[in-house]
Structure 1
Amino acid sequence: MKKSLIAIVALLVLSVASLASAAEIKVKGSTTVDPAMKKWAAAYEKANPGVHFSISATGSGDGAKAIINGTAQIGMMSRDMKPAEVEKCKANGIEPKQFVVALDCLVPIVHPSNSVSGLSTDQLKDIYQEKITDWKAVGGTPGFIALFSRETNSGTYEVWHKKVMKKEDEAQLVSRMPSNAAMAAKIAGNKKGIGYVGLGFLSSSVKALTVNGVEANVENAINKSYPLSRGLNLYTAGEPTGEVKKFIDFCMSAEGQAIVQEVGFVPVN
């Protein structure tokens, strides 16, 4: 009886020790970075059984808030932190640390049946402000242009708002999509629609448009000749330590950057 009791106590002690040694890394933010993050996390967990990831992808704005408020160790952002967000970090005694883990292009997309192959940034702006409302005006088949954009909390939207809209408002009738995946699915099913996604969300279901005559691809993302190129980021509250540092080092390693390429983005190393 005593031996059985001792064995049970020993198992409980080992279980408690195991739980105590387990590390949870909380990650919040960008839906664009999310596909890479899920694959990074799965690979890291497999190599490090004591580490578990909790990932919430609801937009880059939430990635910044997570670092400001300390609700996650890593913030995913498809844009840079805004000066106001950096100031909020500093007000809370936090010096945000940025890691550019991949490169990307923001790509206008239409239905594969659309005859239009490219637009200028000026044309895109006019379309999204309803100064151009018919595909015929930009060389396409006559028909109303259905506008799809991202929710304003999205880092993808922020880049679009800055580089295409020049920080001016879009038309009120634009339909808001919650993620890149939702945007791609919507345009794949709408012959009159236009939207925009990151490189990793392109497929044969949608047609990518050139911008100012430049194609969105790896080479043009690296040399920044594509007008809507951007970096994809991970943020931490100060210099990362422990498992968080090891994980970010993994993301920047050859194996981690191979995952970047696998999900359709551009490696930085």
Structure 2
Amino acid sequence: MKAKKPISILLSLLLIFALTLTGCSSETPASTDAENNQAEENQTAANEGTKEESTFKAQMTFNGSSTLAPVMSSIATDFIEGYTTWNKVDASFPEENIAIYVSAGGSGAGVKAVLDNTADFGMLAREIKDEELEKIGDAKVFKLGIDALTVSVNPENPILQIKDDLTTEEVRKIFSGEYKYWDEVESSLPHREIVVVIRDLSGGAHEVFQKSVMKDAQIREDAIQSPSMGALVTKVIENKDAIGYASFGMVNQNAGKLIPLKVDGIEATEENIVNGSYKISRPLIVVKRGELTPEQKAFMDAVTSEEGLAIVEKMGFVPVR
């Protein structure tokens, strides 16, 4: 009996091993390579379909130039009131309410918003720089119009009774503070302090004025910096001793409330702005990184249409057709 124990133990171990193998086996046959590939393709297609559906954005955002912001807001308002929901713009779009948000913070802020992906579009009232284009990468640039910076004064400013023209040198001396009183510009004028009004130093207008007029001279330190072009114009309207570089569009919107002076004998007219003889001019630009989505293209098509450019013109600027 003792001689049979090792055999019994061995048989028991073999039986346990066989049961273990049976428990680990699967009753489901392994998938073929072709089936695996087909399953992956089906999943990819499903993911792409989901991604395509989820990329539609019922809202879009614009940030940047305070000069261009009212124009874009007006076009956006007409677009929303005309369609209300996206499916009325294009039957392939979902039935979602159109939402277009426009905020002003200056041309530099417009570029930064695009770079930081905090806005879909940036608005600029100046040329876009090469280094900005390089940082953005695949930039889409839309030039909507041309604006000019007029050297404007309050209608009650006594200078208008004597002259309607300043040289570039005189403008530079006024804005740098070399001329501090009006009688330094013209001896027959009252001895009253000149109030210089400018855009804040981060605005596109300041950059254009610095490049076109000031050159290496700096703006006087006590100049009133305005957070928007509208605020700049208001300051000139409120103070008869004020002078500022008011947007051509804003002058047209406030006709008679401030008076633009000629510069070097050239008046800021649409013709002179277009042909370049009035030198203090700047483009109105919208920029985006990458390709436009279908809904973004639909809106920008409206912006650059005759109806959209008519609003650019109505707001006092020179549209680009």
Report the TM-score when normalising by structure 2: 0.73
Residue 70 of structure 2 is aligned to residue 35 of structure 1? yes
Deviations 1:88-139 (A, max 9, x none): 32xxxx3222111011111111110122422122211111111112222333
Aligned partner of 2:204 among 155, 169, 183: 155
Which residue of 1 is the match for residue 33 of structure 2?
none
For 1:137 and 1:237, the matched residues in 2 are separated by 49
For 1:26 and 1:138, the matched residues in 2 are separated by 45
Deviations 1:202-230 (A, max 9, x none): 12111111111111121111111111122
For 1:21 and 1:226, the matched residues in 2 are separated by 44
Cα gap change, 1:72/1:192 in structure 2, threshold over 3 Å: closer, same or farther?
same
Deviations 1:8-53 (A, max 9, x none): xxxxxxxxxxx99761011000000011111110111123323211
Residue 148 of structure 2 is aligned to residue 102 of structure 1? no
The DSSP-based 3-state class of the residue aligned with 2:171 is: helix
Residue 112 of structure 2 is aligned to residue 65 of structure 1? yes
For 1:70 and 1:168, the matched residues in 2 are separated by 35
Is the 8 Å Cα contact of residues 212 and 227 (structure 1) preserved in structure 2?
Answer: no
Aligned partner of 1:128 among 163, 172, 175: 175
The DSSP-based 3-state class of the residue aligned with 1:164 is: helix
Is the 8 Å Cα contact of residues 105 and 229 (structure 1) preserved in structure 2?
Answer: yes
Describe how 1:182-197 pairs up with structure 2 within 5 A: 182-197=231-246
The DSSP-based 3-state class of the residue aligned with 1:128 is: helix
Residue 145 of structure 1: CA displacement? 0.8
For 1:178 and 1:222, the matched residues in 2 are separated by 27
Is the 8 Å Cα contact of residues 197 and 244 (structure 2) preserved in structure 1?
Answer: yes
Which residue of 2 is the match for residue 77 of structure 1?
124
Deviations 1:62-94 (A, max 9, x none): 1000111111111110012223322332xxxx3
* Paired-residue identity, %: 35
Which residue of 2 is the match for residue 9 of structure 1?
none
Is the 8 Å Cα contact of residues 104 and 198 (structure 1) preserved in structure 2?
Answer: yes
For 2:150 and 2:216, the matched residues in 1 are separated by 18
What residue identity is the alignment partner of 1:195?
G
Which residue of 2 is the match for residue 210 of structure 1?
262
Aligned partner of 1:173 among 194, 212, 222: 222
The DSSP-based 3-state class of the residue aligned with 2:113 is: helix
What residue identity is the alignment partner of 2:304?
M
Aligned partner of 1:223 among 248, 253, 275: 275
Point out the structure with the larger helix share: 2
Which residue of 2 is the match for residue 258 of structure 1?
310
Cα gap change, 1:22/1:235 in structure 2, threshold over 3 Å: closer, same or farther?
closer
Which residue of 1 is the match for residue 61 of structure 2?
26
Which residue of 1 is the match for residue 26 of structure 2?
none
Residue 156 of structure 1: CA displacement? 1.0
For 2:127 and 2:133, the matched residues in 1 are separated by 10
Count the aligned residue pairs: 247
What residue identity is the alignment partner of 1:199?
F
For 1:187 and 1:70, the matched residues in 2 are separated by 36
Cα gap change, 1:126/1:38 in structure 2, threshold over 3 Å: closer, same or farther?
same
For 1:77 and 1:184, the matched residues in 2 are separated by 19
Residue 292 of structure 2 is aligned to residue 243 of structure 1? no
In structure 1, runs of 5+ residues without a counterpart are 1-18
What residue identity is the alignment partner of 1:235?
V
In structure 2, runs of 5+ residues without a counterpart are 1-53, 86-97
